[in-house]
């Protein structure tokens, strides 16, 4: 098992800059982050372990590594998958509805198919208790998501990813204020083009939904005990440089909020770090 990251300190720490961990490739990053998650689960006596999760490509190796650990008998029964965002479409009366979870690009569907489903199957193989809960924000009542997270005692560990072209984090767009909480937002062209790479069925920009519901920048910073920013791939070199060099939140690149989170870690592969 790869060495887990250091255990978070008891008191919140504000990073003035991050000292990146650089590993050979995305699979090595996934193995390392999964080992950290298992370490944190074992170290807490809380009834639930809330893991903040992005959809998309960045954290897939981590989710795959967690399923492999589950197949070997790791106890993930207390794991709660807390999704960052979801695509929404116009509904009745000017409101928004979450997209059908059966759609391949649904974040809720991603959580079932790519995170919880493989872990549950692995738990069944190992004869252990599988986790069952997936949380996702409701566009009809975004504030309720923050309240639910806070009532549960906060997110134990939040996995983060940065948009390659505009630095979006979850669906927080460039210009998002630092105090933003869970909200519905229009999606800029750069974010939508990034997501065309994630979901190949999006062959034209007009096929990508134009709005999403997302945890806010402050939801991430204020409700998490620890965060791990994962950056992999040569296409993320600009994101890596921007985040590694940040000393405070920069609204034009929302992923820089990681430096204002408690117990932040930046972990990247060599392709992203350029070495």
What pLDDT shows up at residue 17?
Answer: 66
What domains are defined for the chain?
A: 21-273 (3.40.50.1360)
Long-range contacts of 43-46 (CB under 8 A, 24+ apart): 43/7, 44/156, 46/78, 46/153, 46/156
- pLDDT tens digit sequence for 64-108: 999 999 999 999 999 999 999 999 999 888 899 999 999 989 999
> What span, in angstroms and rounded, lies between the C-alpha atoms of 107 and 103?
9
| pLDDT given for residue 200 in this prediction | 75
pLDDT of residue 199: 77
Mark the ranges of the chain whose per-residue pLDDT is less than 70: 1-17
- Looking at residue 93, what is its pLDDT? 85
Q: Give residue 184's Cα distance to chain centre.
A: 17
Residue 11: the pLDDT is: 42
Contact partners, residue 211, CB within 8 Å, separation at least 6: 87, 88, 89, 90, 96, 184, 185, 186, 187
Rounded to whole angstroms, the Cα distance separating 104 from 77 reads 26
Quote the pLDDT of residue 256.
98
* Residue of 261, 265, 151, 274 lying closest to 216 (CA atoms): 261
Instruction: Tell me what pLDDT residue 150 has.
Output: 98
């Amino acid at each position: 098992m790869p060495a887990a990251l250091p255990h978070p300190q008891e008191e919140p720490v504000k990073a003035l800059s991050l000292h990146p961990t650089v590993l050979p490739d995305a699979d090595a990053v996934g193995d390392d982050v999964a080992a950290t998650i298992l370490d944190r689960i074992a170290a807490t006596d809380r009834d639930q372990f809330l893991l903040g999760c992005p959809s998309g490509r960045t954290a897939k190796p981590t989710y795959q590594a967690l399923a492999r650990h589950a197949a070997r008998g790791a106890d993930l029964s207390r794991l709660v998958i807390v999704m960052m965002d979801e695509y929404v479409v116009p509904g009745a009366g000017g409101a928004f509805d979450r997209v059908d979870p059966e759609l391949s690009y649904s974040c809720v569907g991603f959580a079932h198919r790519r995170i919880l489903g493989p872990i549950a199957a692995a738990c069944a193989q190992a004869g252990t208790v599988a986790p069952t809960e997936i949380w996702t924000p409701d566009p009809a009542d975004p504030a309720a998501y923050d309240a639910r997270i806070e009532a549960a005692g906060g997110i134990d560990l939040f996995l983060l990813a940065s948009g390659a072209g505009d630095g979006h984090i979850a669906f927080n767009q460039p210009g998002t204020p630092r105090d933003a909480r869970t909200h519905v937002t229009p999606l800029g062209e750069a974010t939508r083009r990034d997501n065309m790479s994630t979901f190949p069925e999006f062959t034209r920009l007009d096929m990508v939904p134009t709005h999403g519901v997302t945890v806010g920048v402050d939801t991430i910073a204020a409700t998490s005990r620890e965060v791990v920013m994962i950056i992999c791939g040569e296409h993320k070199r600009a994101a890596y440089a921007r985040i590694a060099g940040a000393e405070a939140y920069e609204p034009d690149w929302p992923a820089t909020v990681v430096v204002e989170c408690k117990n932040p870690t930046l972990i990247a592969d060599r392709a992203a770090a350029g070495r």
